[in-house]
Structure 1
């Protein structure tokens, strides 16, 4: 029997991808001794308003951001699928074999019971939770029971939160303010070249 691969799945709008996203992905890769962290850009997130960059632009920015980082890859499954993006559809279509860990923030954990068919999601993945500023680690009894029933783990990622957000970056770009220390330089160059987030 070979060793089971461990793959961390990191979904998000990545609108745009920034340095905190990359730090979180690298932390997950190392702390979980994962074989890979797959960044999964959302197609049409059903709980979010319209995004500032289109799917292909967000995909290109991710490609630029992880170009030199071993262990990070992009899974475009949600962009390639039409219609609203549901995590359930994504985890249902994962290749069998690896042990999958779904990376989410403590703010998302608190709302996990609102996710589309959340009970089935935990049939497919462990939950790897990163602390978010101002949101404690809170797991409902129902979720804890569902994890136990599916022989799944709730893991806490030892990550010091960085105060960087995509929405704040979009506001800074629209206002003509600098973004040093927030974005990979290649991503900022792409944003400027394609005149993104100016409205």
Structure 2
């Protein structure tokens, strides 16, 4: 049975922290692949102003150099609000020979009690939590925790830097930074 990690997010933009988390969990759990799942409309965040095609392209650029990273567009294709339960149920139904691991940061671990159909979801998938500064990995739900090197960066931080005309070098893959500049995203020139 194949073992696949799922890393969802708006990826607005995808950054080195996303890649570090995916690689560390891949190595630690001996996964076959990690699938990046860009969300269409996440229920826990305000809507992004970045076009979904731009976020998808940035995510593809970010993972291009890693052969065990893939993109799955299930949430974009479904449209509307993206609930993890719906995504996981669809993937399990479609890929019966795969064991899935849902990768999340400490901020999402704390939010689990508010997730749609969480009691059913924990029976379907293994949750993997990675530490994030200022967040606790304790939960009333079963979470497999993975220690990773601390690299504190967020998409919000990167967007703010770019809006201020500051560099995002070493926070983003070079290909993603170039795309942002070419497309004039986040007020870049």
TM-score scaled to structure 2, two decimals? 0.94
Structure 1 position 192, deviation (Å)? 0.7
Q: Which has the larger radius of gyration?
A: 1
The residue number in structure 2 matching 1:151 is none
- Find the residue that maps to 2:166 and give its secondary structure: coil
| Counterpart check, 1:171 vs 2:179 | no
The residue number in structure 1 matching 2:97 is 97
Residues 35 and 70 in structure 2, CA contact (< 8 A), matched pair in contact too: yes
Residue pairs, 1:80-119, within 5 angstroms = 80-94=77-91, 95-119=95-119
- Give distance in 2, aligned partners of 1:155 and 1:132: 15
Question: What RMSD, in angstroms, separates the aligned Cα atoms of the two structures?
Answer: 1.2
The residue number in structure 2 matching 1:65 is 62
The residue number in structure 2 matching 1:20 is 17
Residue pairs, 1:143-154, within 5 angstroms = 143-144=141-142, 154=143
1:72-112 per-position Cα deviation (integer Å, ceiling 9, x unaligned): 10011001112111111100101212111100112211110
The residue number in structure 2 matching 1:150 is none
| Counterpart check, 1:42 vs 2:31 | no
| Counterpart check, 1:132 vs 2:132 | yes
The number of residue pairs the alignment matches comes to: 185
Residues 10 and 103 in structure 1, CA contact (< 8 A), matched pair in contact too: yes
Residues 132 and 152 in structure 2, CA contact (< 8 A), matched pair in contact too: no
Structure 1 position 52, deviation (Å)? 3.3
Residues 52 and 197 in structure 1, CA contact (< 8 A), matched pair in contact too: no
TM-score scaled to structure 1, two decimals? 0.90
Question: Which structure 2 segments of 5+ residues have no match?
Answer: none
- Find the residue that maps to 2:152 and give its secondary structure: coil
Residues 15 and 52 in structure 1, CA contact (< 8 A), matched pair in contact too: no
Residues 106 and 132 in structure 1, CA contact (< 8 A), matched pair in contact too: yes
The residue number in structure 2 matching 1:195 is 184
Partner residue of 1:180 out of 149, 169, 180: 169
- Give distance in 1, aligned partners of 2:69 and 2:146: 17
| Counterpart check, 1:161 vs 2:150 | yes
Structure 1 position 161, deviation (Å)? 2.3
- Give distance in 1, aligned partners of 2:122 and 2:14: 26
Structure 1 position 183, deviation (Å)? 0.7
